[in-house]
């Protein structure tokens, strides 16, 4: 089971680095934000799948873990740049008054 977790972490990290290259507005994110989000989401997905009782050799644990490793960084990569732009605009408005 521990070896499978290492494989999930590695696969999630690679997915995260790949997603970082294709997400829009990636210049407003840090270098490790998207990959680390993928690793955290994939690891938590794997832990959740094992906690529920899915088999480590089954396909559903992998689908859950890698599905979360794809979905979470996309959500973060879309949400954070918009929030940063709004925050920067609010800060600019407060500074120029």
> 55-68, pLDDT tens digit by residue?
998 999 999 999 99
Three-state SS string over the chain comes to CHHHHHHHHHHHHHHHHHHHHHCCCHHHCCCCHHHHHHHHHHHHHHHHHHHHCCCCCCHHHHHHHHHHHHHHHHHHHHHHHHHHHHHHHHHHHHHHC
Residue 83 has pLDDT above 90, yes or no: yes
How much is the pLDDT for 1? 63
> 26-49, pLDDT tens digit by residue?
888 889 999 999 999 999 999 999
Residue 9 has pLDDT above 70, yes or no: yes
């Amino acid at each position: 089971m521990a070896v499978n977790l290492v494989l999930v972490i590695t696969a999630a990290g690679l997915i995260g680095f790949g997603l970082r290259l294709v997400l829009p507005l990636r210049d407003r994110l840090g270098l490790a934000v998207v990959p680390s989000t993928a690793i955290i989401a994939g690891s938590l997905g794997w832990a959740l799948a094992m906690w529920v009782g899915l088999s480590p050799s089954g396909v559903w644990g992998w689908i859950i873990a890698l599905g979360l490793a794809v979905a979470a960084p996309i959500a973060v990569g879309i949400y954070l740049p918009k929030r940063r732009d709004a925050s920067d605009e609010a800060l600019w408005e407060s500074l120029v008054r």
